[in-house]
Copies of this chain bind each other. A is one copy, B any other.
Amino acid sequence: MVLAKVLGTVVATRKDDSVVGHKLLLLGNVDAKGVPTGASVVAMDAVGAGTGEMVLYATGSSARQTKVTDKRPCDAVVMAIVDSWEIGGEVIYKKGRDD
């Protein structure tokens, strides 16, 4: 999975039938220090994430292993909202403190 921040949303009216009604989130990847890497991806949302939240997304066929994305042309899904992470005991990111 990859750490990323929810940057915003993507609107697409004309879509494959199987993905109509699915929210599309624009994500910006961050590295282990929480610094944006410049890479971005569009993911479907299985957990109700909002703009500004730090999340984890899964890619590839694993992105279809949620009720929201099962059997759909979806290669990236937000499957967790991050509360915090630490490296060697030091808290690098903490929700609320670092948003």
> Shortest beta-carbon distance, A97 to chain B, in Å?
13
Stoichiometry, as copies per complex, reads 5
Docked pose: A66 CA to B80 CA in angstroms? 20
In the complex with contacts A62-B63, A85-B26, A56-B14 CB distance below 8 A: no
Number of A positions contacting B (CB below 8 A): 60
> Shortest beta-carbon distance, A85 to chain B, in Å?
4
> Shortest beta-carbon distance, A92 to chain B, in Å?
8
Docked pose: A41 CA to B59 CA in angstroms? 12
Q: Chain B residues near A77: list those with CB within 8 A.
A: 16, 73
Sample of 19 A–B contacts (CB below 8 Å) = A1-B43, A3-B42, A8-B85, A11-B83, A11-B84, A12-B56, A14-B47, A24-B56, A24-B80, A26-B87, A42-B56, A46-B73, A59-B75, A62-B63, A62-B73, A62-B75, A69-B73, A73-B77, A73-B79
